[in-house]
């Protein structure tokens, strides 16, 4: 039978297109494999030069050589990409031609259907089914064999039981910085090492003097909403703008600025900082100290540890931080541990975590993901139920973690709204605020979800939305943003009194020497008796705006205003003003 | 439609759209603002789309599905389906770059089930369930004209050769195994391996790794002689549609009238989906043997599931290494016992450096993932046993067909067989009346 000329032409076209495709494919593959190690990120030559540069960072000739070689490899790489792209289009064109011509040629030669007699159809069907069953069994065995090969080819060096992996972390971690002797607990208690004092409760050790007026005030170079912390003769605060972040150390007696240190060139921190709402600013989190160093964190994610002389011990970039109002959760210290609650996300969790660092080295001791969105409350550390627990708040969970290892101990679903007030521990109960909704008391023991079993009481009266509560063990005191102060029994939540103070309040209250200190947003510092009956003991006017909470140390009260740092103490006369 | 019914529909639609509004485009981390004028490339392919454009894509998808159903059942038009599949190839393939597509969407659903923090997009939900819904009623209309992968392979088909039935049946379980593996990985939280190992998507994107491009080219070359090899022997979503089609209310029929058993359609299906009628008479001696075999296979089924689950559980340490976090933990631990030297500042060296800085966190995250994989592999193994067991059973049951008709599950509703039927040709006016009448 003669082949029609159209068919011959189509077949020839298909052959030519096929050969063309093969040629293009061959060239592309040759280029691909020839490139081999001549790529900027895999070239052994370039890697060796870079390693050499790490040892001699100022070797200009070496830098030049690396740049030239890098540029050469990058050019080659770009050329290959362009070649790939051109080759891809040529292949597409050739392939289309091949398929069109071959399909048309095949259609011209398509035989007509010629059904054959159906002899022994049943036997054939039975045989086919039997063959299919066997081939299926073979396929199953092949699949099982493939999985076995994958299993054998990917052996694991990790223990079979994942619970044992934490032990491995201790073995395989970076060499540990020798553990320092942490200051005694009494030293922490005598000072004000973190937001709201040594345990975050806002209660100071008794002092011998009465607070009567302003002793000194000192200008603060950069703005910030963080509260002062104090250790010995030093008071620390931080300040920051989009352009600059700094830490300040003042003399506690005179108010003199001892040093100020800019936190810059933090490895990994991008030069351009993210925008942060003006009300929060770049330095909202309160610093913390372990008596050896001070620690500061800023809204752009920069974390710094400074020695008491102002030199930088280490820095770390924890950002970028995803917090709609900006990072405001303060740092916490306990012994040699620095604790950072980094809750992130809008309405949903987005990388929230709790981190424990070794203060001396900045080494991460452990890190735990948290199932919560952004929050602004500061964690506290308590000794309860025979364990040292870290108590964290965020919508909707109160979660307790073990200080050693960071394992979750228990959790309770009790909170709602934007969580700003921090928890306190008094009278054996955790006292928490679900902003604008409830004041809650929770027993800090148990395991797992204790929502339904451990809530001691809840009150819906005079619930603050910003200020944290304060407790002397027997009583709990709260103050709302509008200045309504209230007192409750710690034991059962019974309200004993409430009083309108006539001032807006954003700062959290504190207790010293049986006196409750409440700082108005525009002053004054109101002193009430921390007792079962309302009794105002005095007011000290302070001419500034206050968002930060007072610090109490050595019988003095330190206040951070928008423009100045103040020290209040026994002598009201002779206000010392530092530049 | 009554007003109440209309309001119900509007309410249901609103309820579906509401969650999407809540999760609308939120930049997780603000990108750096380069002052040199450098433009950041999009971190995803295809780039993220405005919400209304996602809904527009969904609208186009649903419309294409509806047109496919109309062309299959109402118009019985191969030509129409061809043009529809060309449109789908252009729109869902080359324009949308193969994403979002129903093939990967079951992973989104499973991921959402196991990760409550993940907001499942409404579009993913529709792309996942609309073709399955259509298949439950009317077969694989999605495969017929809406799937860009199918359309690309259809275009490549030059001279189809028949795959031996025994091979067809054996390879037919692979899509179900791939589906199980993909869903296990998605449930564990590692990623969407079905998308990662889709061999045809790189052609839509005009880029891809060497391995996946080679695999894709192999499928396309094979597709010149074997009809839609990816759809038949690998596509996991095809497996789901196959199952749904088995229960479909309506099915594709070769003839618009009575089957005359002329057998002219026998060779018309390039996908090996055409089935002959079952022989009427059965040899009495075979009946007993068939029943015994069925009994044995029924008894074997739970044993296969249990054995599969056990074998799957042993796979967990290897499978978990698919997760980058577990792989890093392994490398970190291996580095302690058998230190390997990686190039200076290479990704491996840098990752090891970071792991050494905080091994506790790396190992804790890896341990969590490994626990997830323990469960996922156990389920995958059980699924594997179930698939093979059920398939063995299906091959031991006698079909009850009386006509030449496409297999419900295997038929891709491409409409190629329609014009092979003399009755259809008469209906179309391509043959004189009487040519398709029943034999006397």
pLDDT tens-digit profile of B5-18? 666 666 666 655 54
B7 token code pair: 């309001």
Exposed, middle or buried: residue B299 (CB in 10 Å: 0-12, 13-18, 19+)? exposed
Residue found under tokens 């594709």: B252
Contact, B392 vs B297, CB < 8 A?
A: yes
Strands (E), A359-451: 364-369, 380-384, 387-393, 397-402, 408-413, 424-426, 429-434, 438-442, 448-449
Point out the residue among B265, B332, B343 whose CB comes nearest to the CB of A172.
B332
pLDDT band at B279; cut points 50, 70, 90:
low
Residue found under tokens 């069109």: A100
Residue found under tokens 């992973």: B107
Average pLDDT, chain B: 84
Residue in B333, B379, B338 with CA at minimum distance from that of residue B352: B333
- The SS3 assignment for A435 reads coil
Domain range for residue B123?
A: 52-277+406-428
Would residue A329 count as lying in a domain?
yes
Same domain? A366 vs A508 = yes
Per-residue pLDDT, A111: 78
Cβ contact, residue pair A172, B166, below 8 Å: no
Same domain? B318 vs B265 = no
* CA of B1 vs chain A CAs: smallest distance (Å): 39
* CA of B58 vs chain A CAs: smallest distance (Å): 26
Same domain? B235 vs B310 = no
Same domain? B249 vs B347 = no
Cβ contact, residue pair B317, A156, below 8 Å: yes
CA distance B18 to B64: 25
User: Mean of the pLDDT values across residues A37-44?
Assistant: 78
Same domain? A87 vs A210 = no
Percentage of chain A exceeding pLDDT 70:
93
Would residue B97 count as lying in a domain?
yes
User: In CATH, what number is assigned to the domain containing residue A452?
Assistant: 2.130.10.10
Same domain? B216 vs B117 = yes
User: Chain A partners of B165 at a C-beta cutoff of 8 Å?
Assistant: 128, 131-132
Residue A539 pairs in a beta bridge with: A526
Provide the 8-state DSSP code for B223.
T
Residue in B119, B106, B113, B125 with CA at minimum distance from that of residue B61: B125
Same domain? B106 vs B191 = yes
Domain range for residue A405?
A: 186-578
Same domain? B364 vs B303 = yes
Same domain? A214 vs A89 = no
Question: For chain A, how long is the longest CA-to-CA vector?
Answer: 123
Cβ contact, residue pair A320, B30, below 8 Å: yes
Would residue A460 count as lying in a domain?
yes
| Residue A487 pLDDT greater than 60, yes or no | yes
Q: How many domains does chain B have?
A: 2
Average pLDDT, chain A: 88
User: Chain B partners of A50 at a C-beta cutoff of 8 Å?
Assistant: 344-345
Same domain? B99 vs B242 = yes
CA distance A535 to A529: 5
At A61, give phi and psi (nearest 5°): -65, -40
Task: Determine the residue of chain B that is closest to A41 in CA distance.
Answer: B346
CA distance A240 to B141: 62
Same domain? A221 vs A83 = no
pLDDT, one tens digit per residue, over A300-312 is 999 999 999 999 9
Same domain? B272 vs B297 = no
Cα A20 vs. chain centroid, distance in angstroms? 56
CA distance A248 to A333: 19
Same domain? B76 vs B210 = yes
Per-residue pLDDT, B27: 47
Among A82, A132, A171, the residue to mutate for chain B (most B Cβ within 10 A): A132
pTM above 0.80, yes or no: no
Instruction: For strands A536-540 and A551-553, give the pairing.
Output: unpaired
pLDDT band at A166; cut points 50, 70, 90:
low
pLDDT band at B20; cut points 50, 70, 90:
very low
Same domain? A399 vs A531 = yes
A256 Cβ partners below 8 Å, 6+ apart? A218, A250, A578
Cβ contact, residue pair A138, B311, below 8 Å: no
A:B CB pairs within 8 Å: 194
Would residue A70 count as lying in a domain?
no
Same domain? B303 vs B372 = yes
Per-residue pLDDT, B247: 87
Strand ranges of the sheet holding A234-240, from the earlier edge strand across to the other edge: A229-231, A234-240, A245-251, A257-262
User: Chain A partners of B362 at a C-beta cutoff of 8 Å?
Assistant: 169
Residue found under tokens 């540029």: A71
pLDDT, one tens digit per residue, over A215-248 is 999 999 999 999 999 999 999 999 999 999 999 9
CA distance B126 to B123: 5
Contact, A339 vs A356, CB < 8 A?
A: yes
Residue in A517, A475, A470 with CA at minimum distance from that of residue A495: A475
Same domain? B296 vs B270 = no
A151 token code pair: 């299993």
Per-residue pLDDT, B438: 47
Same domain? A396 vs A501 = yes
CA distance B266 to B280: 19
Q: How many domains does chain A have?
A: 2
At B250, give phi and psi (nearest 5°): -105, 155
| Residue B30 pLDDT greater than 80, yes or no | no
User: Mean of the pLDDT values across residues B131-154?
Assistant: 93
Would residue B336 count as lying in a domain?
yes
Cβ contact, residue pair A151, B317, below 8 Å: yes
CA distance B122 to B103: 16
Would residue B143 count as lying in a domain?
yes
Would residue A120 count as lying in a domain?
no
Hey, how many other C-beta atoms are within 10 angstroms of the C-beta on A533? 8
Same domain? B236 vs B314 = no
Per-residue pLDDT, B23: 43
Would residue A166 count as lying in a domain?
no
Would residue A111 count as lying in a domain?
no
Would residue B298 count as lying in a domain?
yes
Would residue A383 count as lying in a domain?
yes
């Amino acid at each position: 039978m003669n082949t029609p000329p159209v068919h011959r032409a189509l077949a020839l076209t298909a052959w030519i297109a096929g050969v063309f495709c093969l040629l293009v494919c061959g060239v592309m593959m040759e280029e691909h494999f020839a490139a081999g190690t001549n790529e900027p990120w895999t070239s052994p030559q370039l890697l060796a030069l870079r390693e050499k540069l790490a040892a001699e960072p100022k070797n200009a000739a070496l830098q030049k050589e690396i740049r030239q070689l890098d540029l050469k490899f990058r050019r080659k790489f770009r050329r290959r990409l362009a070649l790939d792209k051109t080759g891809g289009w040529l292949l597409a064109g050739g392939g289309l031609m091949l398929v069109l011509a071959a399909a048309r040629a095949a259609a011209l030669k398509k035989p007509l259907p010629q059904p054959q007699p159906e002899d022994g159809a049943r036997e054939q069907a039975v045989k086919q089914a039997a063959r299919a069953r066997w081939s299926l069994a073979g396929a199953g065995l092949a699949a099982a064999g493939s999985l076995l090969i994958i299993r054998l080819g990917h052996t694991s060096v990790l223990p079979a039981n994942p619970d044992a992996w934490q032990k491995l972390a201790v073995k395989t971690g970076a060499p540990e910085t020798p553990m320092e002797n942490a200051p005694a607990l009494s030293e922490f208690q005598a000072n004000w090492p973190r937001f709201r004092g040594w345990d975050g409760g806002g209660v100071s050790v008794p002092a011998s003097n009465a607070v009567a007026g302003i002793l000194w005030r000192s200008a603060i170079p950069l703005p910030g909403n963080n509260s002062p912390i104090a250790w010995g003769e030093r008071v620390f605060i931080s300040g920051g703008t989009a352009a600059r972040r700094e830490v300040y150390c003042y003399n506690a007696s005179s108010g003199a600025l001892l040093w100020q240190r800019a936190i810059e060139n933090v490895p990994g921190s991008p030069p351009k900082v993210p925008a942060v709402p003006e009300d929060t600013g770049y330095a909202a989190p309160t610093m913390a100290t372990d008596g050896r160093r001070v620690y500061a964190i800023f809204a752009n994610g920069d974390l710094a540890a400074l020695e008491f002389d102002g030199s930088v011990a280490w820095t770390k970039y924890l950002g970028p931080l995803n917090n709609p109002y900006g990072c405001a959760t303060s740092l916490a210290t306990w012994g040699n541990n620095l604790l950072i609650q980094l809750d992130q996300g809008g309405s949903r969790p987005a990388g929230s975590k709790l981190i424990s660092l070794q203060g001396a080295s900045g080494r991460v001791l452990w890190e735990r993901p948290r199932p919560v969105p952004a929050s602004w409350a500061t964690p506290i550390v308590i000794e309860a139920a025979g364990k040292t627990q870290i108590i964290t708040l965020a919508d909707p969970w109160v979660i307790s973690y073990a200080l050693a290892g960071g394992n979750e101990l228990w959790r309770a679903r009790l909170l709602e709204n934007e969580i700003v007030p921090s928890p306190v521990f008094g009278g054996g109960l955790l006292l928490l605020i679900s902003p604008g909704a409830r004041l809650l008391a929770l027993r800090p023991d148990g395991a797992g979800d204790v929502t339904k079993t451990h809530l001691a009481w809840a009150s819906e009266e005079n619930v603050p939305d910003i200020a944290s509560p304060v407790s002397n063990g027997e009583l709990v005191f709260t103050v709302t943003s509008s200045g309504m102060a209230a007192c409750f029994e710690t034991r059962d939540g019974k309200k004993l009194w409430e009083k309108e103070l006539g001032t807006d309040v954003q700062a959290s209250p504190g207790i010293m020497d049986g006196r409750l200190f409440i700082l108005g947003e525009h002053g004054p510092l109101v002193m009430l008796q921390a007792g079962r009956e309302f009794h105002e003991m005095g007011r000290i006017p302070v001419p500034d705006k206050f968002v930060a909470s007072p610090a109490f140390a050595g019988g003095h009260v330190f206040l951070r205003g928008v423009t100045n740092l103040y020290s209040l103490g026994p002598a009201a006369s002779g206000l010392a003003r530092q530049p | 439609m009554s007003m109440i019914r209309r309001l119900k529909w509007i309410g249901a639609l609103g309820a579906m759209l509401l969650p999407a509004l809540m999760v609308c485009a939120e930049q997780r981390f603000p990108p750096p603002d380069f002052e040199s004028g450098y433009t950041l490339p999009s971190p995803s392919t295809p780039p993220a789309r405005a919400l209304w454009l996602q809904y527009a894509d969904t609208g186009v998808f649903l419309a294409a599905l509806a047109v496919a159903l109309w062309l299959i059942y109402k118009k019985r038009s191969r030509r129409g389906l061809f043009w529809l599949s060309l449109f789908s190839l252009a729109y869902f393939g080359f324009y949308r770059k193969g994403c979002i597509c129903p093939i990967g969407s079951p992973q989104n659903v499973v991921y959402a089930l196991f990760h409550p923090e993940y907001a499942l997009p409404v579009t993913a939900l529709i792309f996942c369930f609309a073709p399955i819904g259509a298949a439950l009623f009317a077969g694989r209309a999605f495969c017929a004209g809406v799937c860009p992968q199918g359309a690309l392979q259809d275009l490549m088909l030059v001279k189809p050769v028949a795959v031996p039935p025994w091979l067809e049946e054996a390879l037919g379980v692979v899509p179900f195994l791939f589906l199980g593996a993909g869903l296990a990985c998605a449930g564990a939280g590692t990623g969407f391996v079905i998308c990662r190992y889709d061999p045809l998507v790189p052609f839509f994107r005009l880029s891809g790794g060497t391995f996946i491009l080679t695999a894709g080219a192999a499928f396309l070359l094979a597709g010149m002689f074997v009809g839609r090899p990816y759809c038949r022997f690998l596509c996991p979503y095809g497996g789901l549609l196959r199952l749904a089609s088995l229960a479909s209310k309506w099915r594709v029929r070769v003839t618009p009238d009575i089957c005359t058993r002329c057998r002219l359609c026998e060779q018309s299906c390039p996908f090996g989906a055409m089935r002959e009628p079952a022989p009427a008479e059965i040899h009495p001696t075979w009946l007993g043997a068939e029943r015994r075999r069925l009994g044995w296979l029924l008894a074997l089924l739970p044993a296969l599931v249990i054995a599969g689950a056990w074998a799957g559980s042993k796979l967990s340490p290897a499978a978990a290494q698919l997760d980058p976090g577990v792989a890093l933990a392994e490398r970190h631990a291996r580095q302690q016992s058998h230190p390997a030297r990686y190039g200076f500042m290479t990704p491996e060296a840098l990752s090891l450096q970071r792991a050494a800085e905080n091994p506790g966190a790396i190992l804790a995250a890896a341990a969590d993932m490994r626990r997830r994989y323990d469960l996922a592999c156990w389920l995958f193994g059980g699924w594997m046993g179930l698939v093979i067991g059920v398939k063995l059973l299906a091959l031991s049951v006698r079909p009850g067909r009386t006509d030449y008709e496409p297999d419900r599950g295997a038929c891709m509703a491409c409409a190629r067989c329609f014009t092979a039927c003399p009755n259809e040709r008469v209906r179309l006016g391509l043959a004189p009346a009487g040519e398709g009448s029943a034999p006397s």
